[in-house]
Amino acid sequence: MAKSRMTSQQTNGAAVVKGLSLVDRFLPLWIFLAMAGGLVAGRFWPGIAGVLDTLRIGTVSLPITIGLLWMMYPVLAKVKYEELGKVAQAWEQFGVSLVLNWIIGPVIMFILAWVLLPDLPHYRTGLIIVGLARCIAMVLIWNMLAEGDNEYCAVLVALNSVFQIIMYGPLAYLFLRVVPGWLGGEGTIVDIGMADIAKSVLIFLGIPLAAGIITRFTMIRRKGEEWYDSVLMPRLAPTALVGLLFTIVVMFSMQGERILAAPLDVLRVAMPLLIYFLLMFAVSFAVSIWRKFPYELAATQSFTAASNNFELAIAVAVGTFGIASQEALATVIGPLVEVPVLIGLVYVALWVRQVFFKSEPSLQKA
């Protein structure tokens, strides 16, 4: 019986992989090639980091902004905004998501940073900054690839954006200034205002969200919903992955020299990050299975909880401690670990659906 079940699960896993497009099936390969390409560029063209770093407005990097907007726009254009009313009733799921994102996530990152980096306080501070920045960008990509609910994801991203503006400053003060004092450590003051966070949210969510809404309703009115979903979206949606790969190349090009110069530090910082992403993903899926959430909501919930807003974290670290600081390097290592880990978890989520959600109805069909 056990052997039969194992064979069935292996068959289902193979079917999931075969069901992906060629680009999606080998996405981990493309990501690692993009990472390698960025490292090579940073290693053999030392001036590229300086060139890319000059292309910024304030703390906002223009190359990374272009990549993120390019990545998010097709995903947000795919969202069926006219159906958002269906997920507005999912109050239990929203409550679980807020607890995971704004209580459990920051606490877990704080604990991991203090336990695994007791002798590296600057890197520890950088990790805590990452843990406080909840994802409003790349989660849209992971959710799309894992076949989560796009509408629910859009609402969660908007909800986290509002909470980010309100909660980031107070939570940064609590976890970096107050709690370390309770543990006998030295607190750190992070100077970040609501206006700075609001600017980040406006750029990285507001612009692609507005573009997606305008595109959807304008083109549906002109060409019809069937053309939009069956013709335009299949052409536009894959370009989001191009934006993702472009962003990865830029990030690794800008930080490649520093990463290669301190490989042991990178590994030490990467360890708590790896544990954090896996733990948040597992806890979220376990809660979703326990509460009998549909797979589409469970997947969206898990990727939202396990992802972080690296652009905000980097901006806070750079603005407070400087571009050459260990705090800033720790925030940069965040997405470098997150990207390959989360793409691997896409495959895990698709496998989990086959094993634990066979009889669960989808939100769209409800």
Name the residue ranges covered by the structural domains of the chain: 23-356
Task: List pLDDT tens digits, range 161-180.
Answer: 778 777 877 888 888 888 88
As given in the structure block, the two tokens for residue 329 are: 């390097």
Residue bearing tokens 């800008």: 254
Strand (E) or helix (H) holding 303: helix 295-306
- Please report, rounded to a whole number, the percentage of residues in the chain having pLDDT higher than 90: 22
> With respect to CATH, is domain 23-356 assigned 2.130.10.10?
no
pLDDT class for 25, splitting at 50, 70, 90? low
Task: List pLDDT tens digits, range 309-363.
Answer: 776 777 677 667 766 678 878 887 887 788 789 888 998 999 999 888 865 544 4
Q: Is the pLDDT of residue 50 over 90?
A: no
As given in the structure block, the two tokens for residue 242 are: 């191009």
Task: List pLDDT tens digits, range 268-284.
Answer: 999 999 999 999 999 99
**Comparison of pLDDT for 342 and 256, the residue scoring more:** 342
d(CA 351, CA 337): 22
**Which range is least confidently modeled, 139-153, 180-194, 202-216?**
180-194
Give how far Cα 205 sits from Cα of 5, 26, 125, 139, 310, Å.
Answer: 43, 28, 26, 12, 13
Contact 301, 149 (CB under 8 A): no
d(CA 196, CA 198): 5
Query: Three-state DSSP class for 134?
Result: strand
- Nearest C-alpha neighbor of 140 from the set 313, 303, 364: 303
d(CA 80, CA 150): 8
Query: Three-state DSSP class for 308?
Result: strand
SS3 content of the chain, % helix, strand, coil (to 5): 80, 0, 15
Cβ neighbours of residue 166 closer than 8 Å, sequence gap 6 or more: 194
pLDDT class for 138, splitting at 50, 70, 90? confident
**Comparison of pLDDT for 59 and 226, the residue scoring more:** 226
Q: Which of 11-25, 35-49, 188-202 has the highest mean pLDDT?
A: 35-49
As given in the structure block, the two tokens for residue 103 are: 């209580």
